Chain A
Amino acid sequence: MTDGEIVVSHLTKHYRRVRAVDDLSFTVRPGRVTGFLGPNGAGKTTTLRMLLNLVTPTAGTATIGGKRYADLADPLRQVGAVLEASSAHRGRTGRNHLRVICAAAGFPARRADQVLELVGLTPAGKRKFKGYSMGMRQRLGIAAAMLGDPQVLVLDEPANGLDPEGIRWMRDLLKRLADDGRTVLVSSHLLSEMQLLADDIVIIAKGKLVTHGSVSDVVDGDGRAHGGQVRVRTPQAEQLAAELAKLDGGEAGAGPPTVTPGEAGVLLVSGVDAATVGAAALRAGVVLHELVAEKPDLERVFLDLTAGKAGIR
């Protein structure tokens, strides 16, 4: 495979009553970590399972490097997936779990030991799966995904059950894999984690695409309409507020910015950027003690974008 781009095109899955995934289209580029976000029940897992040929779509296609998963010649050499952390036989050792996969995929058995080493699970390799903690199960899942040294990685909620150190480890590993030029698609509902990890995000709700793009585009672009504001502190708050009220919203013509007084001398200004506020202060001859462009975080944008679309359907 030369490129490893994931293309989801008009993907749809209807169950008897529920449109789990509804005409969903997006692309995932190699060399970047893409976060796949949505409230519970948004259709994230169903989408990933359709991408991997585990669930048959009602309509639409999902391809990896231009091919459907079912048509890949050696799927494990091209795509590694971690879908359920608890997916190994309880009575089988972690090492044997990997060796079973090696046998089916035609990898030498020593590859199992290599990936155990890679995820730091070597000491537990000969223990049975039922004794594994959630974190160890996640690591085993990642080990299995790395067996074929794939160009594309697909992970469903990999941070579930990991302790902070484990989450840090996972983040570093996934970033490094993306830096290698691999495609990394990670679903999650942990937004703060995604803001640290992801380069691009795809947000879905109720089976439909809400937005997608780079994290900064989504946060800045959609964020301006969703709570981006400038925090300014000055001893002459009233004079500055009066000066700001003269602005007419500039090129957008959106009218004067909204000014909300905060605690002692603080004004929260939305609708203009920090430079405009600074210029206004200069014109009014006002002393500024603080001028900060407060970027909304992903969580805020996410909650605004998916408001009312969460939950049980």
Chain B
Amino acid sequence: MTVTAPSTDPVADPALGRPGPAPLRLVRSEFLKLRTTNGWWLFVLGALVMLVIAILFNWVQADFMFSSATPEGVSAEDAAVIEASRQSVVQAANLYTSGQFFGLMFVMLVAIVIVTSEFHHLTATTTFLTTPRRTAVILAKLCLAILFGAALWLVSLAINLPSTIGILSLYDYSSLLGEWPVQRAILLNLLAYTLWGVLGVGIGVLIRSQIGATIIGAVVYLIGTAAVAILVAVLANGLGWEWVEDAQYAFPSVASGLMVSGTDLPGQPPYWVGALILVGWAVLTGAIGVAITRRRDIS
């Protein structure tokens, strides 16, 4: 680069602009931060690949449920669960919300990065110099994470609608979009996508290391869910602790799975319990995130 001495005195634009409403400015700035880096579309790409795999998986499951008879020799309790799952609305709700498991994880990861990249790239200094009101910055990040979650939900739905209608028609079912349980599952799926964005921001504030936060978030999400399932099976069957079957729903990813289940299966708490638990987690991590950011020294 050649050195060019500034030819003019620093004369500010006479119209430096009249600032718009601060909250909108901050969300726009956060959106620009996300858009001007390429990392977010890798996560979106990952979510879309997993969405296609999930559609195929759910199709196989639906095929099994629609075409086979209740197996012989299962307990009356299991038979009841299988009968309930066999309902076409349950399968339709499951198909319309395909890709949820990994989609939620990618929303969480993007939300984590929205926060941690500020520390990873030392931009937190600039951000908080521009906006000393740190609560406003975190709220803007929460807004962006929610918007990103909603956008990914919308994209997923745009793919799930035609694919599900196609799959259901193969088994001579209508779209079933008029059924309230199906509509409810789709809407609660939106809630899940936005709440995981909030959770991600909370995790990002708690664990400032970008690599640490994303790896811990992904591992707890992926393996944590399986680990909880195994633990519940061992404790419930081995030791006869029936209560752990309910306690597992306190785990956020299990709670969000419950929230979007199309119908109340026997032996499961109602869907709104899952919704309440997930809202609780989101509020808790969001509030902790704001509180920590307000008092933390940026150095």
Contacts and interface: CB of A to CB of B under 8 A. Distances in A.
Chains A and B bind each other: yes
Given A87-B121, A87-B122, A96-B32, A108 B13 contact: yes
Interface size class of A (residues with CB under 8 A): 35 or more
Given A46-B299, A111-B17, A123 B29 contact: no
A117 B135 CA distance: 34
A136 B12 contact: no
Given A70-B132, A76-B129, A108-B17, A166 B32 contact: no
Interface size class of B (residues with CB under 8 A): 35 or more
A49 B136 CA distance: 20
A110 interface: yes
Contacts of A177: 10
30 contacts: A54-B129, A55-B299, A75-B129, A75-B130, A75-B132, A81-B129, A87-B121, A87-B123, A87-B125, A89-B33, A91-B39, A96-B32, A96-B36, A99-B36, A100-B32, A101-B126, A103-B32, A104-B26, A104-B130, A105-B130, A111-B13, A120-B2, A120-B3, A135-B1, A136-B1, A146-B10, A148-B16, A149-B10, A172-B5, A173-B6
A53 B133 CA distance: 10
Q: Which of A53, A55, A83, A100 has the most CB of B within 10 A?
A: A100
Interface string B9-23: 111110111111010
A14 to B, nearest CB: 12
A146 B28 CA distance: 21
Given A96-B32, A149-B16, A105 B25 contact: yes
Contacts of B122: 84, 86-87
Given A55-B298, A70-B133, A99-B32, 15 more contacts: A45-B299, A52-B129, A54-B129, A75-B129, A90-B121, A96-B36, A99-B36, A100-B32, A106-B19, A107-B16, A107-B17, A110-B13, A149-B10, A169-B5, A177-B10
Contacts of B33: 89, 92, 100
Nearest to B7: A117
Given A106-B20, A111-B17, A49 B129 contact: no
Contacts of B3: 120, 165-166, 169
A45 B16 CA distance: 30
A20 B76 CA distance: 71
Interface string A113-130: 010011111011000000
A104 B29 contact: yes
A45 B15 CA distance: 34
Contacts of A76: 129-130
Interface in A63-99: 69-70, 72, 74-77, 79, 81, 83-84, 86-93, 96, 99
Contacts of B19: 74, 105-107
A166 B258 CA distance: 62
B42 to A, nearest CB: 12
A148 B242 CA distance: 63
A123 B132 contact: no
Contacts of A146: 10
A133 interface: yes
